[in-house]
Amino acid sequence: MENLLCDEVWLSSPGTPDLSHESEHYIWKGYGYADLFYTTKEDSEQALEICLKKEFSYMPEAGYLDYLQSKNLVFARFRAVQWLIKTCTRLNLSIGTVFNAVNYLDRFLSMSQCHGWKHWMMELLSVACLSIAAKFNETSLPSLDELQLEVNVLIEDGRLGALFSTEHNPADGTDGVTGFKMAS
C-alpha cells in the first residue's frame, strides 16, 4: 500500500524556485505577469499585436448594425441578449459565459445569409450559443433542458383547479377532454 503513494518531496526541495516572491517583485516595480514570459519589449509588443488581430477576427462582420436594422432583428437580438443574461443568472453561470454567448450570437448573425428570420430561429440560436459558451467556460454544464426551462410561475396544488375553466370541468365530473373523472 505504501508504494502507491507519490514521492512529493521534490516539490518542496530547495532547488524549486519560489515564483510567488518573484512575481510580487515584478508587480511592485510596475511590471505585469507578461514580463515574466517575454524577455524583450519587441516580443511583448508582437504578442500584443497578435492578440489584437485575433480579437478583430472574432468580431461580427463589417456593417453588422446595418444588417440588423435592415432585417428588423434589433429587437429580436435585444430579447435574445436579455434571455441569455436572465438564463445565466438563473443557472449561476459566469459573466464570461454570457459575453461569449452574445459574441457567438453576433458573429453567427453577421455571417448568416438567412433572409427570413423567425422568432423561434432566434430562440434556437440563443440556446445553441449559450450551450457552446457554457462548454468552453463552465466546469459543470447545464443540460439543454435546463437551458430552455423558464421557471416563472410556481403553481400550488390548491390553485391548480382554478386554472381550469368550467368548459373543462363539466357537470358530470369528467375533465371534458379525455373523459376521465377528475379527483375531488
Could you tell me the end-to-end alpha-carbon distance of the chain, in angstroms, rounded to an integer?
Answer: 64
Q: Rounded to two decimals, what is the model's pTM? A: 0.53
Same domain, 84 and 119: yes
Structural domains of the chain, count? 3
Same domain, 140 and 178: no
- pLDDT of 9 over the 60 cut: no
pLDDT tens digits, residue range 55-93?
A: 777 777 788 888 888 888 889 999 999 999 998 888 888
pLDDT tens digits, residue range 29-62?
A: 444 554 456 678 888 888 888 877 877 777 777 8
Only one residue has cell 454567448, namely 101
Query: In a 10 Å sphere around its CB, with 0-12 CB exposed, 13-18 middle and 19+ buried, how is residue 88 labelled?
Result: buried
Average pLDDT over the chain, rounded to an integer: 71
Residue 102, domain member (yes or no):
yes
Q: For position 70, what pLDDT does the model report?
A: 84
Residue 84, domain member (yes or no):
yes
Same domain, 142 and 78: yes
Residue-wise burial string across 136-158, b where 16 or more C-beta atoms lie within 10 A, e elsewhere:
ebbeeebeeeebeeeeeeeeeee
Q: Domain range for residue 160?
A: 155-184
Same domain, 113 and 165: no
Same domain, 68 and 144: yes
Of 12, 42, 57, the position where a domain reaches its end is: 57
